[in-house]
Amino acid sequence: MDFVYPVENCIYAVIAAFFIGVIICPVLIPILHKMKYGQTERDDGPQSHLKKTGTPTMGGIAILIAFAVSAFIFGRTADSVAVVLITLGFGIVGFIDDYIKVVKKRSLGLRAYQKILIQLIFTALFAFYVSKNVPEFTKIYVPFGNGYMIDLGIIYIPFLFVVMLGTVNGVNLTDGLDGLAGGVTMIVAAFFTIICIAAGKGISPCVSAAVVGALLAFLVFNAYPAKVFMGDTGSLALGGYVAATALILRMPLFIILVGLIYLCESLSVIIQVGYFKKTGKRVFKMAPIHHHFELCGWSETKIVTVFYIITALMCMAAYLGCKGIF
């Protein structure tokens, strides 16, 4: 479906989401404080994080409200609604997990099989939508391939599950420093805004623009020193947004570029756990890798800034890799 709305609506979507978020956060943070929905820090982590204990979590609620309201107002194509719904769906999973952690005082939240099962259900619903509504859905673009596509055929659906669950949990692992996951994903959302404008059909660019606005607002309160954390409510939702957008655009391989930070965070955990089980030794001082850099003496703000720069550069590279697609 071609867009009915002018590109200027992207700016309106950013502004609307920003102001909604800026209004909601100051109201939400005292409520979370009062209800003692606070973060618990690990004793074996960086000592600088212990002072963060008690900082309200579940701030992702503000991100989701600001994003959803703006996206539904300005981006109402079928694909846009699908992205919004899958984002909210994974946000609900994260909310339940956060609720169990901070309210029920069960440190691990949802049991692993429960979290995976619910994520699989939402992913299956999304896969059904893609198979029925995305033309030639088994074909995906290859970065720097000048518009070349590969047809995954029968392995596309398993591939979709890997992309969705991998991205969701990659963003979740990235959410470990003030402003990190929010800022990195804001840059990725800016990239997808530009790509959706170039595509001119399918997902309205206003959806990604709404993510940009919501995260800009959240960063006002989440940048170092954070007054609130997004929690799994925010991180799982953002992962769902990134994966769903890339899959509908038939650009999941581009996540390797724009989501390089998510990939590195995930790989660092996999390598750390696997190597430790095999040898009893650690490759990194701590995983995910942002904690490794902390223990190497990097300040929290330096790590976040460097990760922002890497993401921005990779998004520029990914844009160059889109030649011949649109």
Higher pLDDT, 239 or 38: 239
Residue that the structure tokens 């590195």 belong to: 264
Over 60: is that where the pLDDT of 326 sits? yes
Average pLDDT for 162-186:
97
Q: Which of 7, 31, 11 is nearest to 216 (CA)?
A: 11
Per-residue b/e over 23-42, b at no fewer than 16 CB within 10 Å? ebbeebbeebeeeebbbebe
Average pLDDT for 13-35:
94
pTM: 0.94
Average pLDDT for 197-214:
94
Residue that the structure tokens 């990604």 belong to: 208
Per-residue b/e over 206-231, b at no fewer than 16 CB within 10 Å? bbbbbbbbbbbbbbebbbeebbbbbb
H/E element holding 29?
Answer: helix 8-34
Instruction: State the pairing for strand pair 149-151/139-141.
Output: antiparallel
Residue 45: its pLDDT value, please? 57
**Which residues, listed in sequence order, are joined to residue 140 by a DSSP beta bridge?**
150
Amino acid at 61: I
Average pLDDT for 157-170:
97
pLDDT band at 110 (very low <50, low <70, confident <90, very high): confident
pLDDT band at 268 (very low <50, low <70, confident <90, very high): very high
Over 70: is that where the pLDDT of 41 sits? no
Q: What is the pLDDT of residues 70-79, one digit of tens each?
A: 999 998 899 9
Q: Which of 66, 53, 50 is nearest to 218 (CA)?
A: 66
Q: Which of 178, 216, 213 is nearest to 302 (CA)?
A: 178
Residue 47: its pLDDT value, please? 53
